[in-house]
């Protein structure tokens, strides 16, 4: 059939326009469409958060063929938790990413989280080292997005300048050579520090056996009293501890692992180990109830629990998945098991029961009396360096120093305490006994100095007597010669 040339031209033109429209329409729609949005509430450092979020944005484009705009609301873990409670089910963020397990358990119990079973749920272990890696109630309210361990950080140059070596075990922190060289946060101001104190107590109790928990409990607290005497400064924030070590104000700091790893990545001459024993702390993520962007929130939860998401987490934190390798200096409980001595039998129930009592007892007994603790420990060290261990005053000083507050001198007593009522008693107990310890140690030193003075005096008299005898004998000899 012959088609007029004019009509043929129109057909070709329309066909071309149709094909161009077919190709360009999705591109135009993609360019013109607003990106998806996700608002993340978190306590992480900018370097770590941006690394993970940038990878999430790339993953999002690959998975869903569209861009996503991330808004970050950054504040401390405790402040994040308080903010979620303040929003009261009408949040301005979609997910909370990071913070201790305690916060997520509490938010779930208050109905502030939305359950969502992620695509990787089957690949996430139920627990590790006694701690759940996802909502133990089975409601998928949260998943562990990272793990943390606890340890001893040190400044290499500081230790070398002070002729010190890095401690290998928690027990080493009681050594006299570390007196005044340690910085630690007041446990009452830091959840991670409280966890460290409880973890070390459980470590010692576990070594002694739970059936003998009274003796082991007292030994563990005597340990912390000895460490407190070596601490040069208790800080108001756990974030201050690594800074004090980096600046060389103190040589050793008790801290959470990633605080040190961040500084190593930044080129600081510091290092960290777990002191021969550690538990883990889960750092969860969860979708907030009433999230403004629920679909994007679910996709974030899928990403952060995936192998790829956990590999990105391994840039600065310990991943929760065995198939996600970390980036040095970050360690993994799976890839670096010999360097991460996780306590396999850790008792999470006891940990939670001990939490309030432990942080308040440590703070009121040891931190509020810190100057007296340091002074008593210094005098005891002075006695030991002078070899006065057999002195009854020295022994009284040690006995007073080691006395555990009677109201909480067994685990069973401690677990049933009203911490608010017990607090002032702990402070008074510490003030009284550490002062007594200092006085007794000083008495031992004074007694020794007096004995030394007497010995010196006696020696002087002996020398004078000998000299006089020599003079008399010499005179007698001369007299005899003259005759």
Residue 17: per-residue pLDDT: 45
Instruction: Please state, in angstroms and as integers, the Cα–Cα distance from residue 430 to each residue in 163, 185, 366, 373, following that order.
Output: 32, 19, 7, 8
- Asked if residue 256 lies in contact with residue 167, where contact means CB atoms within 8 angstroms, the answer is no
Domains 32-146+283-331 and 150-278+342-442 share a fold: yes
Could you tell me if 239 and 248 are in contact, meaning their C-beta atoms sit under 8 angstroms apart? no
Section 242-250 average pLDDT: 97
Tell me how far apart the alpha carbons of residues 190 and 411 are, in angstroms, rounded to a whole number: 22
- How many whole angstroms separate alpha carbon 143 and alpha carbon 117? 9
Residues in Cβ contact with 431 at an 8 Å cutoff, skipping those fewer than 6 apart: 369, 372
Mean pLDDT of 367-376: 98
Is pLDDT larger for residue 57 or for residue 78?
Answer: 57
**DSSP classification of residue 2:** P
pLDDT at 62: 98
Name residue, tokens 């990787």.
120
Classified as helix, coil or strand, 147 is strand
Q: Which residues in 360-481 belong to E strands, given as ranges? A: none
CATH (residue range 150-278+342-442) = 3.40.190.10
115 pLDDT exceeds 50?
yes
As a whole number, mean pLDDT of residues 360-365 equals 97
Question: What pLDDT score was predicted for residue 12?
Answer: 53
Strand-pair partners of 132 = 127
Q: Which tens digit of pLDDT belongs to each residue from 408-466? A: 999 889 999 999 999 999 999 999 999 999 999 999 999 988 766 555 555 665 666 66
The helix (run of H) or strand (run of E) holding residue 95 is strand 95-97
User: pLDDT (tens digit, 9 = 90+) per residue, 131-178?
Assistant: 999 999 999 999 999 999 999 999 999 999 999 999 999 999 999 999
Helix (H, G, I), strand (E, B) or coil at 483: coil
CA distances from 332 to 30, 55, 108, 327, 351 (A): 40, 20, 28, 9, 23
Handedness of CA 458, 460, 463, 468 (dihedral sign): negative
376 pLDDT tier (thresholds 50, 70, 90): very high
The CATH number of the structural domain formed by 32-146+283-331 is 3.40.190.10
Q: Output the pLDDT for position 78.
A: 87
Report how far residue 257's alpha carbon sits from residue 139's, in angstroms, rounded to the nearest whole number: 30
Q: Region 307-326: what's the mean pLDDT?
A: 96
The CA distance from 334 to 325, in Å, is 9
**Residues 36-47: pLDDT tens digits?**
999 999 999 999
**Sign of the CA dihedral with 355 first, then 357, 361, and 364 last:** positive
How confident is the model at residue 207, as a pLDDT? 75
pLDDT at 24: 47
From residue 216, alpha-carbon distances to 222, 411, 444 in Å are 10, 9, 30
Check residue 200 and give its pLDDT.
95
Q: What is the average pLDDT score of the chain?
A: 90
User: Crossing angle of helices 392-401/419-482, nearest 10°?
Assistant: 170
Judge whether residue 295 has pLDDT over 90. Answer: yes
Q: Is the dihedral of CA 382, 388, 392, 396 positive or negative?
A: positive
Q: Is a pLDDT exceeding 80 seen at residue 5?
A: no
- Summarize pLDDT for 256-276 with one digit per residue, the tens: 999 999 999 999 999 999 999
**Two structure tokens written together for 386:** 């002078």
d(CA 158, CA 181): 9
Domain ranges of the chain: 32-146+283-331, 150-278+342-442
How much is the pLDDT for 470? 77
User: If you ran DSSP here, which 8-state letter would residue 40 be given?
Assistant: E
Question: Between 21 and 126, whose confidence is greater?
Answer: 126
The residues facing 150 across adjacent strands are 256
The tens digit of pLDDT for each residue in 327-338 reads 999 999 989 988
What span, in angstroms and rounded, lies between the C-alpha atoms of 441 and 444?
A: 5
Nearest by Cα to 253 from 234, 269, 278: 234
pLDDT tens digit string along 202-229? 998 887 776 676 789 999 999 999 999 9
Element (H, E) at 424: helix 419-482
Whether 345 has a pLDDT exceeding 90, the answer reads no
Phi, psi of 37, deg, nearest 5: -130, 140
- Residue 80: half-sphere exposure toward Cβ, Cα within 13 Å: 29
Residue written as token pair 């059939």: 1
């Amino acid at each position: 059939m012959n088609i007029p040339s004019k009509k043929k031209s129109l057909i070709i033109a329309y066909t071309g326009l149709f094909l161009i429209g077919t190709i360009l329409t999705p591109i135009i729609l993609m360019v013109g469409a607003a990106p998806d949005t996700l608002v993340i509430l978190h306590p992480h450092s900018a370097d770590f958060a941006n690394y993970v979020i940038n990878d999430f944005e790339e993953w999002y484009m690959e998975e869903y063929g569209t861009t996503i705009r991330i808004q970050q609301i950054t504040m401390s873990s405790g402040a994040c938790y308080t903010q979620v409670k303040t929003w009261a089910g009408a949040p301005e963020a979609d997910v909370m990413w990071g913070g201790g397990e305690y916060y997520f358990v509490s938010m779930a119990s208050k109905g502030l989280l939305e359950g969502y079973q992620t695509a990787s749920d089957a690949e996430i272990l139920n627990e590790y080292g006694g701690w759940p890696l996802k909502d133990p109630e089975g409601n998928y309210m949260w998943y562990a997005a990272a793990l943390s361990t606890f340890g001893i950080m040190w400044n290499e140059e500081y230790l070398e300048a002070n002729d010190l070596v890095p401690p290998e075990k928690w027990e080493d922190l009681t050594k006299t050579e570390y007196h005044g060289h340690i910085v630690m946060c007041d446990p009452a101001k830091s959840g991670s520090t409280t966890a460290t104190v409880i973890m070390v107590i459980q470590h010692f109790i576990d070594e002694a056996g739970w059936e003998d928990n009274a003796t082991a409990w007292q030994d563990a607290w005597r340990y912390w009293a000895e460490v407190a005497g070596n601490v040069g400064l208790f800080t108001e924030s756990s974030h201050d501890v690594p800074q004090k070590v980096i600046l060389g104000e103190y040589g050793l700091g008790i801290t959470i692992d990633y605080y040190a790893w961040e500084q190593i990545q930044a080129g600081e001459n510091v290092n960290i180990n777990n002191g021969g024993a550690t538990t883990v702390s889960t750092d969860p993520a969860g979708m907030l109830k009433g999230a403004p962007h629920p679909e994007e929130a679910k996709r974030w939860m899928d990403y952060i629990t995936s192998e790829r998401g956990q590999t990105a987490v391994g840039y600065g934190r310990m991943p929760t998945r065995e198939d996600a390798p970390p980036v040095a200096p970050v360690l993994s409980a799976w890839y670096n098991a010999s360097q991460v001595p996780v306590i396999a039998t850790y008792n999470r129930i006891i940990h939670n029961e001990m939490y309030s009592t432990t942080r308040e007892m440590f703070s009121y007994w040891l931190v509020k009396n810190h100057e007296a603790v340091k002074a008593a420990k210094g005098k005891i060290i002075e006695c030991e360096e002078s070899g006065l261990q057999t002195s009854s005053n020295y022994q009284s000083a040690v006995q007073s120093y080691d006395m555990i507050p009677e109201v909480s001198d067994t685990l069973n007593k401690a677990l049933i305490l009203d911490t608010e009522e017990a607090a002032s008693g702990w402070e008074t107990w510490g003030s009284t006994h550490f002062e007594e310890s200092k006085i007794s140690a000083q008495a031992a030193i004074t007694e020794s100095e007096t004995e030394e003075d007497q010995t010196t005096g006696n020696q002087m008299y002996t020398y004078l007597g000998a000299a006089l005898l020599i003079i008399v004998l010499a005179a007698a000899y001369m007299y005899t010669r003259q005759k």
